[in-house]
Structure 1
Amino acid sequence: MAEQLYTIPVNDAFHADCECPLCQMQKTLEEHAIEYTMGPSYMEDDNRAMTDKMGFCSHHIGMLYKEKNRLGLALMLKTHTDKTIRDLKALSEKGTPAKPGLFSKQSNFSGVGAYIKELESSCFICDRMNRTFDRYVDTIFHMWKKDPEFKDTFKSSKGFCTYHYGILYDTSVTKLSKNQCEEFIEALNHLYFENMERVNGDIGWFIDKFDYRFKNEPWKNSKDALPRGIIKTNHTFVE
């Protein structure tokens, strides 16, 4: 199969030496989204309108702060807080929210509370990543159906984190035929459990190495067992 543009990041992730190719895709997407957000795009009206409305989650605002473009971040933060102040003032002036009755279907959130809840669940970078990531997942199933070479690459990977194992497991039903889905799930289950057990064993040996009885034994593959285990359990890279 000739490599097309949308298959490149998927192939790159599956050829990387990592514990979860989908985590690798998300890591790359995050790096690109941070770079995009702190680049010239923040001066574009349509992007600024989105950052003004959505803001950033706690995780990504921390990453943005570590970047060199403090002026760019300040400009985005200024217009975002301008909008937040303006919107919340308008909502707060509507008066004290009524207390819902015992059998009332009224939401427990006032206009102010609902606005803040929505704001807390939105992030410009998360949104940008998720929209692209969904297309990557679709590409995995497209390549599974159309590209025998990718199928071999998939089966020779080091498996997946628990979170992305679940995404692939559930999504396969809607993307593949019955026979294709059965083959995919069989391969997916084998990869997930075999590699979770491998990493689990490495963590176990890492623990054993703190026992004086094993002090002189080799570390085997356990020196980096914790960061690899954290990828498997929390779909998170640590340094």
Structure 2
Amino acid sequence: MKEKLYTIPVNDAFQSDSECPICLMKKTLENNAIDFVMGPSYMEDDVRAETDKIGFCSFHIEKLYENQNRLGLALMLKTHMDKTIKDIEKSVSGSSKLSSSSLFKRKVEISGVKTYIDNLDNSCYICNKINNTFLRYIDTIFSLYQNDDQFRNKFKESKGFCTSHYGLLYQEAPNHFNADKTEEFRKTLNTVYLDNIKRVRDDLEWFIDKFDYRYVNEPWKNSKDALQRSMVKTNSIIHDSLLAKQKE
């Protein structure tokens, strides 16, 4: 199957030494999104209009802070705060113009402010930028699995998936395949997931045993990074120390 825009990163991820190629793709998207926001783009009007409007989630504001572009982050937060203040003042002012100090007026005021803040709490420019491409990657996985024999083999020979992304593939399969193909895909998916999480579980067990004096002189085997790899499987967390290795 000829490679297209979204097939290249999907194929690259499944060729990597990753405990979850989907986590690797998402982590790469996240890093690229942070680099984009903290680069010259934060001065572009269309980017600032969006970041002013929706802001960032708590997780990604920490990631932006770690990027060390303090001036860029300060400028974005300042104009985001300007817009938030303006919108809140408008909401409060508009509701206070109702005809009386009735219970109805107070409910409208509270409802308007709460809706606005709830929307802010559940919005993030980085998350949106990641998810728009990430969903296309998921669609591409199913398309390649259906149409590309080489990719199907990569899928079967991969190191499996984190539990969350295993569940995502399991649930999405009927949206891409007919009933027979869904059953076949899920059978393969179950084998790939379970065989590999058991492999990492066994490595983790040996990692634990190595802290027992009886095993102090035994080789580490494949367990030195078992704790980090287990965190990929259980919580979809790829530490930077694993990222370079998994891209090889």
Let me know the Cα RMSD of the aligned residues. Answer: 1.9
Which is further off, 208-217 or 16-25?
Answer: 208-217
Contact 1:13 1:21 in 2 (8 A): yes
Is the aligned partner of 1:203 residue 2:204? yes
Match runs of 1:144-223 below 5 Å: 144-223=145-224
| Distance in structure 1 (CA, Å) of the matches to 2:218 and 2:155 | 34
Query: Residue type matched to 2:47 in 1?
Result: N
Where does 1:23-102 land on structure 2 (aligned, <5 Å)? 23-93=23-93, 94=95, 98=103
Deviations 1:101-160 (A, max 9, x none): xxxxx99x6322222121111110000100100000000011111111100011000000
In the other structure, the counterpart of 1:119 is: 120
Which secondary structure state, in structure 2, belongs to the residue aligned with residue 64 of structure 1?
A: helix
Shift of 1:69: 2.6
In structure 1, the gaps of 5 or more residues are 100-105
TM-score normalised by structure 1 residue count: 0.91
Is 1:227 the counterpart of 2:228? The answer is yes
- TM (norm. structure 2) is 0.88
SS at match of 1:41: helix
By how many angstroms is 1:92 displaced? 3.2
Shift of 1:182: 1.5
Q: CA deviation at 1:31?
A: 1.1
Q: Aligned pairs, how many?
A: 232
| Cα offset, 1:164, TM superposition | 0.3
Gaps of 5+ in 2: 242-248
Aligned partner letter, 2:39: G
SS in structure 1 of the partner of residue 6 of structure 2: helix
Could you report, residue by residue, the CA deviation over 1:213-238 in whole angstroms, capped at 9, with x for unpaired residues? 22222111111111100000100123
Is contact 2:38–2:69 with CA below 8 Å preserved after alignment? Answer: yes
> Greater shift after overlay, 145-154 or 65-74?
65-74
| Inter-partner Cα distance in structure 1 for 2:58 and 2:197 | 30
Do the aligned residues in 2 keep the contact of 1:97 with 1:110 (CA within 8 Å)?
Answer: no
If each structure's helix is expressed as a fraction of its own residues, which one has the higher value? 2
Task: Give the share of equivalent positions with the same residue, in percent.
Answer: 56
- Write the letter of the residue equivalent to 1:193: L
The aligned counterpart of 2:238 is 237
Q: In 2, Cα distance between the equivalents of 1:114 and 1:208?
A: 52
CA distance in 1, matches of 2:206, 2:69: 44
SS in 1 for 2:197: helix
Structure 1: which 4+ aligned runs deviate by more than 4 Å?
Answer: 95-99
Amino acid at match of 1:9: P
Q: Is the 8 A contact 2:24 2:238 kept in 1?
A: no
Contact 2:14-2:155 at 8 Å conserved across structures: yes
CA displacement 1:182-236 (0-9 Å, x = unmatched): 2211110001111111111111111111111222221111111111000001001
Provide the secondary structure at the position in 2 that maps to 1:2: coil
Work out the CA distance in 1 between the residues paired with 2:91 and 2:102: 10
Residue 110 of structure 1 aligns to a residue whose secondary structure is helix
Distance in 2, Cα, partners of 1:117 & 1:214: 53
